């Protein structure tokens, strides 16, 4: 039996198609661990998947230590800290009378944070959730976004947006342990970074013009919107790979990243807090798919679509 090897580095999986020749653990200079099948009798090898040979992809991947699941509270505090200056800025810019402005605002700036859940419906997710202790919900993440809007008509605004949502999900193999009866662990990371340009329409007037010199914002303003752009993405698995040809384990990182076209549709609601400041809620659906390359070439397109529910502050100038 080969020498036992332990590490706190996360791991990933390696299907049969990755081991077309030779023991990969030996080839990459990493001493392997003999797997103990679970149950004791050796299970059948995984069905072949359309991955390219790891030997061909080795130059494209960069090994890195795996980290644990990030704290959502930490990211929530970052989002709140980023949005905190907006109410103060609104007060500093609030030139007008008691409850009204001398002119209607033209530009708006919003910072939002909340919950984002990818559909995770393509075969790369199915492979991960079937072989590892992952579920679709493990790819949900805290997301943060900024919107810059410019009014073009009484009810229409052009909106440029950018944001990011990222999640690291630790797991282990469902049916295998190592020769010390310890789980074979891994970390899977999904990052989505949309950059979009769109328009939104106010279903009711955002405010009322009183004479020539006073504009009063309404308490509630519902919006609908849509747009398109590009989404940056990264899918990465880091840690100990299983050579299903000889049931050894070795360390590596598999990854792919890039940009792909996307589109979105959303509904939003502004609740007036002052003449320039509003509390904003946003619910949107994002549609995007990207061809996988790098270490995952041969899989179907990765599904980057999903829903997002966010809340934040909007300041108008």
pLDDT at residue number 204: 95
Structural domains in the chain, sorted by start? 68-239+258-316 (2.40.160.20)
Does position 229 have pLDDT exceeding 80, yes or no?
yes
pTM of the predicted protein model: 0.71
The mean per-residue pLDDT over the stretch 74-79 comes to 49
How far is residue 299 from each of residues 126, 256, 263, 292, measured CA to CA in Å? 11, 12, 23, 6
CB atoms within 10 A of CB 223: 21
Average pLDDT over residues 83-107: 57
Find out whether 118 and 140 touch, Cβ atoms under 8 Å: yes
Helices (H), the chain: 24-27, 54-57, 72-83, 85-92, 123-131
Residue 39 preceded by cis peptide, ω within 30? yes
Task: Give the per-residue pLDDT at 100.
Answer: 54
Per-residue pLDDT tens over the stretch 138-164? 999 999 999 999 999 999 999 999 999
Question: What per-residue confidence (pLDDT) applies to 85?
Answer: 53
Both tokens assigned to 131:
């072989």
């Amino acid at each position: 039996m080969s020498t036992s090897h332990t590490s706190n580095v996360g791991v990933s999986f390696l299907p049969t198609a990755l081991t077309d020749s030779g023991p990969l653990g030996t080839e990459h200079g990493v001493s392997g661990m003999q797997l103990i099948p679970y149950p004791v009798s050796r299970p059948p090898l995984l069905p072949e998947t359309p991955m390219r040979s790891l030997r061909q992809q080795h130059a494209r991947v960069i090994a890195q230590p795996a980290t644990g699941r990030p704290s959502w509270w930490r990211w929530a505090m970052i989002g709140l800290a980023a949005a905190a200056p907006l109410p103060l800025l609104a007060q500093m810019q609030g030139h007008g009378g008691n409850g009204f402005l001398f002119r209607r605002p033209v530009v708006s700036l919003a910072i939002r944070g909340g919950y984002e859940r990818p559909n995770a419906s393509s075969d790369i997710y199915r492979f991960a959730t079937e072989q590892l202790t992952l579920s679709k919900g493990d790819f949900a993440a805290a997301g943060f976004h900024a919107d810059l809007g410019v009014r073009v008509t009484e009810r229409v605004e052009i909106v440029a947006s950018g944001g990011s949502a990222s999640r690291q999900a630790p797991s282990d193999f469902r049916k295998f342990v190592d020769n010390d009866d310890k789980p074979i662990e891994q970390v899977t990371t999904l990052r989505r970074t949309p950059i979009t340009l769109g328009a939104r329409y106010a279903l009711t007037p955002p405010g009322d013009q009183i004479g020539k010199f006073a504009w009063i914002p309404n308490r509630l303003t519902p919006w609908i919107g849509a747009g398109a752009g590009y989404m940056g993405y990264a899918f990465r698995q880091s840690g100990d790979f299983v050579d299903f040809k000889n049931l050894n384990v070795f360390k590596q990182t598999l990854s792919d990243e890039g940009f792909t076209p996307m589109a979105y549709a959303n509904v939003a609601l502004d609740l007036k807090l002052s003449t320039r400041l509003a509390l904003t809620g946003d619910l949107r659906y994002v549609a995007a798919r990207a061809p996988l390359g790098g270490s995952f070439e041969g899989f179907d397109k990765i599904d980057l679509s999903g829903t997002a529910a966010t809340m934040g502050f909007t300041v108008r100038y």
